Amino acid sequence: METLRKKLLALDGKSYKAYKNIEGRYTFPNFVLNIDHVQGDPFATPSRINVQVATSHAAFPDDLWQTTVRRIALEDFIARAVRQGIHKHVKGRRGSGGSGKMHISTSGQQVLVRNAVFVSPDVIEARLTLGLPAQGRRAAGREAVAMFMDELPEVIDAALYHANLDSQQVRQHVHSIEDQDVLRHWLQDAGLVAFVADGALLPRASGVDDRPLCENALPFMAPGPLTHTVILPNSGEIRGLGIGHGVTLIVGGGFHGKSTLLHALERGVYNHIPGDGRERVATVENAVKVRAEDGRAISRVNISPFIDHLPFGRDTVSFSTENASGSTSQAANIIEALECGTQLLLIDEDTSATNFMIRDERMQALVADDKEPITPLIHRVRDLYQQCGVSSVIVMGGSGDYFDVADTVIMLDAYQPHDVTTQARALARSIVPATTPGKAFDEPVSRRPGVDVLSPARANREVKINTRGLNDLLYGEHHIDLSQVEQLIDIGQTRSMGLMIYYFAQHYAATGENLIQGLQKVMTDAQQQGLDIFSPYKVGDLALPRLHELAAAINRIREGQWQ
C-alpha cells in the first residue's frame, strides 16, 4: 500500500504515461489490490483493477454461497453493494476525461451470471474500472492517492464484508433467487410452461424503464380454474396462474394489460431482484419471444412449413434473403427458435405480421390457397404442439379465429385475468383445413455459417469486436442489429456474444457440426469454466446470454456464405 502511495506521489504532474508503472499487486490492510491494466490517456477506456478479500475474512455464512444458484445470487448482491458503495463514497470527476470515475458492471432488474464478482472458497474478488485522474494530460497523482487510499477501501469495506451489510437483506436476496430457480424447474414437473403468482406486479415504470410501476399497479390474481400451488424452499406455499402445454390465447380489450402479461412471461426466463414485482413469474428457460422483423437477413432457413411456392419458384426449404418481409421474418424467427430447442413460443399481435397470423374465410374465397404462399400460424400452431411438442402463448385481441385452435383462453379485463375457455369454445368452429396440408416441422435443414460469416477481421486488425450498445454488435466487418431480439436485456450479454462468436469460430465452427450443436458446446464451456475463457484479458463487464440470443446474433449476420 505504501509502495503504491509513493509511486503515485512521485508521478504527480508527470506525463500520463507514467501511470503505466503502477500496474501490479499491492497489499492493503483489508484486501489485495491488483492493477491489471492502466489506460493510455484520460480519455481512453478506463483502467482495470481487481480487489481480493479472503473469504474467511469476509465472513459470509457458508450456506449463502455453497450451491451454484446461491453463489450467483450472492455475487449479484455484492456487485450491487459495490455499486452503492461507489455512489456513496466516491467523489467522481477529478479532472479531465474519465478522471476519478469508479465503476462496476451490475445487472438491472434481473440477476444474470456475470464476471464482476466471484465468490470462491478462498477469495472474494471484485473487478472494477477506474479512471486514473489527470489534469489536462498530466497525471494527477495526489488525486489518485485519494481514490486508492481513501475511497476504494471504503467501498470494499462497505460491500465485501458481511458484517457491514444488512444480513437480512443478503439472505432475502439469495433466498428469493433460489426460489425462482426452483419455481422454473418445477414447471417441467407440473406440466406447465409458465407461472404467474398472485400478487405479482407486472406493469413497468415506462416503456423504457424496466423498474416496477409504483402507483396504481393492480396486483395479479389468478382465475380460479387455472390456479396452481407450489411449495418453494424459502417462501413456502404460493398460489398463482399456471399456463399449461398446448395453445394458450390471451384476449381482452385494448389497453387491458395483455402485452404487459406477455412481456412478463418473456422476462420470466430470468430471475429478478426482490421488489421487482416479477420475482414469482417464471417461464421455461428456453421460451422465445417471436415477432415480425422485416428487413432482417435470413440465411438458409427452412421456412417451408409456413411459406411455400413463392413467385418465380423461389426456394423456401433453404431460404435466404437480405431483406425479409414481415411474414418471412416471423416464420424464420419461429424456425430458428425450434432449431434452438424451444418449448414455448411467445407471440404478440402488436409485433406480428397480420398475414402471418390469420387468413379469414373471405380472403380465402378471394385469393385461392394456391395463390397464397403463406400458411398462417393459425393453421400450424396445433401442428407445432402435436408434431414438435412446442407450446404457444399468443396475445390476440383482434381476431376470434384463434378460438378454434386454443386449449385455454385467458381474458384480461381491467388487468385482471379470467378463464373464458368455455365461452370461447362455444364460439369456436371446426377448423377449416387448408387445402394443401402444411409441410412437417421435423426436417430442419442442417446449416452452418461459413468462414467469411465468422471472420472477426476488420481493416488491418485481425480481430475487431466491439459493442456500441445493447442492440449494436460490431463483429469484424459485420454490423449486427439486435434491436428486435427482445429477450436480450443487458449490454454485458451483447459483449459476451461478440466474444463467444469468436470462440465458436475458433473451436467449434469447422468441426463438421451444425450451428446449434456448436453453440451448445460454447454454452456448456461457459457454464463449466466461466465467462473468463472468452476474453483475452481480465475484464468484469460480461454477462451470460442464453443460447437463443447467441444464435440470434449469428443468424442476423448479413454478409457471407452459409453451408
* Contacts to ligand ADP by CB under 6 A: 202-203, 213, 216-218, 252, 254-260, 415
Residue 252's binding partner out of ligand ADP, Mg ion, none, with CB under 5 to 8 Å set by partner kind: ligand ADP
| Burial degree of 120 (CB within 10 A; 0-12, 13-18, 19+) | exposed
Residue 487's binding partner out of ligand ADP, Mg ion, none, with CB under 5 to 8 Å set by partner kind: none
Output the smallest distance, CB 257 to Mg ion, in A: 8
Place of cell 385461392: 368
Is the CB of 104 or the CB of 345 nearer to ligand ADP?
A: 345
Q: How many whole angstroms separate alpha carbon 227 and alpha carbon 224?
A: 5
Applying CB under 5 A, among 55, 106, 129, 259 the residue interacting with Mg ion is 259
Output the smallest distance, CB 258 to Mg ion, in A: 5
Residue 448's binding partner out of Mg ion, ligand ADP, none, with CB under 5 to 8 Å set by partner kind: none
Q: What is the DSSP pairing of strand 391-395 with strand 344-348?
A: parallel
Output the smallest distance, CB 192 to ligand ADP, in A: 21
Binding segment toward Mg ion, per CB under 5 A, in 6-14, 78-86, 343-351, 444-452: 343-351
Output the smallest distance, CB 345 to ligand ADP, in A: 18
CA torsion, ordered 88, 93, 99, 102, to nearest 10 deg: 20
Burial state string for 159-179 with b = 16 or more CB within 10 A and e = fewer than 16: bbbbeebeeeebbebbbbbbb
Residue 98's binding partner out of ligand ADP, Mg ion, none, with CB under 5 to 8 Å set by partner kind: none
Output the smallest distance, CB 388 to Mg ion, in A: 27
- What DSSP line would sit under 177-244, residue for residue? HHHHHHHHHHHHHHTEEEEEETT----EEETTEEEEP-TTPPPP---GGGEEEEEETTTEEEEEEEEE
Is the CB of 141 or the CB of 397 nearer to Mg ion?
A: 397
Is the CB of 259 or the CB of 328 nearer to Mg ion?
A: 259
Is the CB of 205 or the CB of 367 nearer to ligand ADP?
A: 205
Residue 256's binding partner out of Mg ion, ligand ADP, none, with CB under 5 to 8 Å set by partner kind: ligand ADP
Output the smallest distance, CB 227 to ligand ADP, in A: 18
Q: How many whole angstroms separate alpha carbon 410 and alpha carbon 403?
A: 11
Is the CB of 90 or the CB of 281 nearer to ligand ADP?
A: 281
Residue 202's binding partner out of Mg ion, ligand ADP, none, with CB under 5 to 8 Å set by partner kind: ligand ADP
Q: How many whole angstroms separate alpha carbon 53 and alpha carbon 125?
A: 7
Residue 217's binding partner out of Mg ion, ligand ADP, none, with CB under 5 to 8 Å set by partner kind: ligand ADP
Is the CB of 251 or the CB of 390 nearer to Mg ion?
A: 251
Which 3 state secondary structure label does DSSP give 339? Answer: helix
Of the chain, the end-to-end C-alpha distance in Å amounts to: 57
Supply 126's cell numbers.
471484485
- For residue 526, report the phi and psi dihedrals to the nearest 5 degrees: -65, -45
Q: How many whole angstroms separate alpha carbon 35 and alpha carbon 95?
A: 21
Bridge partners, residue 190, by sequence: none
Q: How many whole angstroms separate alpha carbon 184 and alpha carbon 180?
A: 6
Closest residue to Mg ion, based on beta-carbon distance = 259
| Burial degree of 45 (CB within 10 A; 0-12, 13-18, 19+) | exposed
Is the CB of 217 or the CB of 523 nearer to ligand ADP?
A: 217
Is the CB of 48 or the CB of 258 nearer to Mg ion?
A: 258
CB 374 within 8 A of CB 311: no
Is the CB of 322 or the CB of 350 nearer to Mg ion?
A: 350
Burial state string for 226-249 with b = 16 or more CB within 10 A and e = fewer than 16: bebebebeebeebbbbbbbbbbbb
Output the smallest distance, CB 133 to Mg ion, in A: 49
Output the smallest distance, CB 216 to ligand ADP, in A: 6
Is the CB of 304 or the CB of 392 nearer to ligand ADP?
A: 392
| 503 closest CA partner among 467, 479, 534 | 534
Output the smallest distance, CB 257 to ligand ADP, in A: 3
Output the smallest distance, CB 313 to ligand ADP, in A: 40
Alpha helices in 463-514 (DSSP H): 491-507
Residue 260's binding partner out of Mg ion, ligand ADP, none, with CB under 5 to 8 Å set by partner kind: ligand ADP
Q: Does 350 bind Mg ion (CB under 5 A)?
A: yes
Residues that bind Mg ion (CB under 5 A): 258-259, 350
